[in-house]
Every structure is written in structure tokens, then in C-alpha cells.
Structure 1
Amino acid sequence: MLIDTHVHLNADQYDEDLEEVIERARDNGVDRMFVVGFDTPTVERTMELIEQYEFIYGIIGWHPVDAIDCTEERLEWIEQLAAHPKVIGIGETGLDYHWDKSPKDVQQTLFRKQIALAKRVNLPIIIHNREATQDCIDILKEEHAEEIGGIMHSFSASPEIADDVINKLNFYVSLGGPVTFKNAKQPKEVAKHVPFDRLLVETDAPFLSPHPFRGKRNEPARVTLVAEEIAQLRDVSYEEVCKQTTENAERLFKLKA
């Protein structure tokens, strides 16, 4: 049994075959999926999906790339929706310095506001970080995000940074498809290094499809390939990875087995 802790089943890429995608995941032992909404349409779709499927839970927030489009009204809306019993986290939020749609200061302000929101609703926060690692960590520390904890989603930084976010910020580290890539040295090091009780798995589907499907549309069934790679890297059984990462997700999000 596995949990895909970060998937975008609310994306347009699944409009034609969502039921089949979900069925493949369930057939492969992925018994729960956490769907992440990050703007108005995807948050709305997330709320629909958590009502429709017992085994789908929602994480809602506003993406840093689109920070410039986020209004106070949208944040109030997200906070209201967070009262739903199947909304289990706030995000994905954070910083993305790769794209230039939203200025850095706008991203940083929104990031701080969403940390504050997560504290008010007492939910963990899911962090998107692209080319902004130190600023992300600095803001999380300044805003005392350790009070709620969360996930460094699709983690791509060093083992030393992983230690920092785990020990000082009470965070978990989540790995996805890139850990399976042949030349992904750093994610493989992280997979071996992170304490087993702080490790999570995800797909970020439809993005970041693992080997041998790299470059193709990803889907939650392929989180099994991530778990298999981690098992090999840590020299443990696939079943152990499934059991431990599931327990970790249940602990962080306060879910029953």
C-alpha cells in the first residue's frame, strides 16, 4: 500500500481518462492520493475530487509562479475551504525563481501569508522550491514554520539541506520521479541519507514521470517506481518502503490507517 503525497489529478491532462488513471493507481497498490490545488481552477477541482472519491484528499494553496495573481479574497477563500475535513494541508506554496512571472518580493510576501494561514488552520504546509533554496529556508525559519511542519516537495537539494529542514523545521522530505533518473546523483544521495521516518514519496503527476517513462505524462500508479528505486538505494524491501512512507504520511497529516 502506497500514498502518492503530491499529485495533480485536477490537471487538464486527465480530462479524457481520469477514471482509468485512478483505477491503474489503485490496481498498483496506491490506496490514497493527495491532490494539490494551486490556483482557482485547480483548487475548485480538488474540492470536487475529495467529495467524489473516498481515498482522495486535498491540499490547497497558491503557487509562487502565480503569486502576482493572488488576492486577499483568494486567500480568505482558501482558508474557508481548509475547514473541510478532507483538506489536509496548505500548498503548494514557496518560491520559484526560475520563471519571472511574479517578482521575488511578491512571491516572498505571499509565501509568508500562506505560512500564517497554515498556522491559523493548523495544517502542515507543502513547499515548492525552485532555484530559491536559501530564501525558502530563511523564510520558513523566520516565520517559525516548525510549529506546523510540512513537506519539502520534490526535494532536489543536498543531504545537508535535508538535515536542516528536518531537524530545525520539523519537515519531511518527499522524493518523486527524478530519484529514478540515471544521472540524478543528489536525489539518490538524499534517498539514502534521510531518516526513514522523515521520507515520503510522490509523483507530481502529470509532471516528472520516472524512468523509463521520462518525458511522458506521469500518473499516480508510477509512484511504485519511486518506491522501488528508494528500496534499492536503501537496501531494504519494497514492502518496507511502502509501510514506512505510508506511516510517515499518516503521522504528518494525522490520518487513520
Structure 2
Amino acid sequence: MLVDSHCHLDFPDFAEDLDGIVTRAAAAGVGRLVTISTRVRRLPELLAIAERFDNVYCSVGTHPHNADEEDGIAAEELIALTSHPKVVALGEAGLDNFYDHGSKDAQERGFHAHIAAARATGLPLVIHTREADEQCGRILEQEMAQGRFQAVLHCYTGGRELAMKAIDLGLHISFTGIVTFKKSDALRALAAEVPADRIMVETDAPYLAPGKFRGKRNEPAYVVETAKVLAEARGVSFEEFSRQTTETFFKLFSKVPRPEVLA
């Protein structure tokens, strides 16, 4: 069994095919899906999807691209919204210096608020960080000194220094279909270094389809292809990699019910 720990089932790309998406994922052995929030104010839309499917869960949070739009949402509001049984994580929140969306100050305020909510609830924070390694690492160190929290750096494409700093802080690293691209040798080498109990796999669907499907709309079933490449890079069998990453997922996303048997 595999898990897609990060997809966006509420995006318009999936509107006409949601039942098929979830059915194909299950047929491919992907037993749990987490649809990740990009706007707190759209949580009802995510909950409608999560409540529709037994194996789908969601997060609540503000993507850094939307930081100005949702600037000022306090940790207390985030904490209150996690009371729903299907809300199993905070985020995605963080820092993005690649696109000119969301002012840096608003992004950083939102990042701190989400970390505070993660610390208070014990739920994992899904971190988006792009071209912000130094700033992200600084904030993570400062915040961890104020009290531990759980988090995963999702869709990781940053440098080795930030990855190792996150691991030293007790955090997790997750990889997408980018790791399957021909020019991703350095990223695969980094993925091979990540401890077995800190690595996860995701799609970030509908974006970043793995190499076999590149150019097409991504979907949770395709997480299998990314897992195959990561297993090869790490020198383990696909079955062992699936077992390791799924076990790590359930430890981190502890609010998601485990199946009786992890296939």
C-alpha cells in the first residue's frame, strides 16, 4: 500500500472526474489520499470531498501564494478548524520566492501562525518552500527553539543544507514526480540520503506528473511511478519502500486511521 500525502482534489482539473480519480488510486494500491488546503476560506469545499470518500482526508491552511488574501488568520482560528475529524494536518504554508505571489511579510506571518497551530494541535504542518532555503531554515530553527512541532517539507526541490537541517530538527521530506525527471540526478541523490523514517512520497496532483506521464494531468494513482524511482535511487525494493513510506505517513499523520493490515 502507498499513500498520496499531498494532492489537490478540489482543483478544477478534477471536477468532472473525481470518482474516477479516487477509484483509480485505490486500484493502483494507493490506500489514503490527503487533499491539501491552499485557502482556509475554501475549507468547506475540501471537507465536502473528504466526507464523500472514506479514504480521503484534508488539511487546512493558506498557501504562500495566497498569503495577502488571507493575511491575519490567527493560529487560534486554524486550531479551531482542526477539530473536524477529517482535518488531519495544517498547511500548506511557507515561503515562495520563485513567483511574485504573496508578499514576503504576509508569507512569513502566515508561516509563523501555522507553526503555532501545529505545535498546539500536534498535527503535522505541510511546508511549501521554494527558493527560500536560508529564510526557511532560519524560521524552522527559531520556532523549534520555542517548542517542538511536526512538519514535512513537501515537493522538496531545495538544497541539501536545508534538507539536512530539517532532518536534524526532526522533520520530514517528501518528493514528487520531479524526482523522476531525467535532469533530477542531484535530487535523486539527495533522496537517497534521507533516513528511511523521514521520507515520504506524494503527487502534488494535478501538477508534476512523473516522467512516464509527463505533460499529462497528474493524479494520485501516479504516485506509484514516483515511488518506483525513489526505491531504485535508494537501493531498496518497491515493496520495502512502500512499506517504509506508508508507515512513516501514519506516524506523522497520526489522525488518519490506519487500515487493519498494511499491504
Fold conserved between structures, TM > 0.5 = yes
Equivalent pairs, count: 256
Deviation for aligned residue 1:163: 1.6
- Does residue 17 of structure 1 match 2:44? no
CA-CA distance at 1:76 after TM superposition: 5.1
Maintained 8 Å contact 2:73/2:110:
no
Q: 1:52 maps to which residue?
A: 52
State the one-letter code of the partner of 2:208: L
Letter paired with 1:38: T
Partner in structure 2 of residue 91 of structure 1:
91
Equivalent position SS for 2:213: coil
Counterparts of 1:41 and 1:103, CA distance in 2: 19
Farther-moved stretch of structure 1 (99-108 vs 131-140): 99-108
Equivalent runs, 1:1-257 vs 2, <5 Å: 1-40=1-40, 42-72=42-72, 77-144=77-144, 147-167=148-168, 169-254=169-254, 255=256, 256-257=258-259
Between Structure 1 and Structure 2, the one with more helix by share is 1
Distance in 2 between the 1:68 and 1:138 partners? 22
Instruction: Tell me which moved more, 78-87 or 21-30.
Output: 78-87
2:94 touches 2:127 (CA, 8 Å); kept in 1?
Answer: yes
Which deviations, in whole Å up to 9, do the C-alpha atoms of 1:41-93 show, x marking residues without a partner?
64222111221111111111001111001144576553322111221110000
Q: Give the aligned CA root-mean-square deviation in angstroms.
A: 1.7
TM-score (norm 1): 0.94
Provide the identity percentage.
Answer: 38
What TM-score, normalized by structure 2, do the two folds share? 0.92
CA offsets 1:103-138 (integer angstroms, 9 cap, x no match) = 211211111111112222221111001111111111
Match of 2:126, SS? strand
CA distance in 2, matches of 1:159, 1:74: 32
CA distance in 2, matches of 1:147, 1:77: 20
Q: SS in structure 2 opposite 1:6?
A: strand
Q: Deviations over 1:137-180 (max 9, x none)?
A: 1111111287112100001123343221011x211110110010
Tell me, yes or no, if the aligned pair for 1:199 and 1:248 is still in contact at 8 Å.
yes
Task: State the alpha-carbon separation in 2 of the partners of residues 43 and 107 from structure 1.
Answer: 19
* Matched letter for residue 17 of structure 1: D
Tell me, what secondary structure is at the counterpart of 2:91? strand
Unaligned 5+ segments in structure 2 are none
Gaps of 5+ in 1: none
Contact 2:74 2:113 in 1 (8 A): no
- The one-letter amino acid of 1:184's match is S
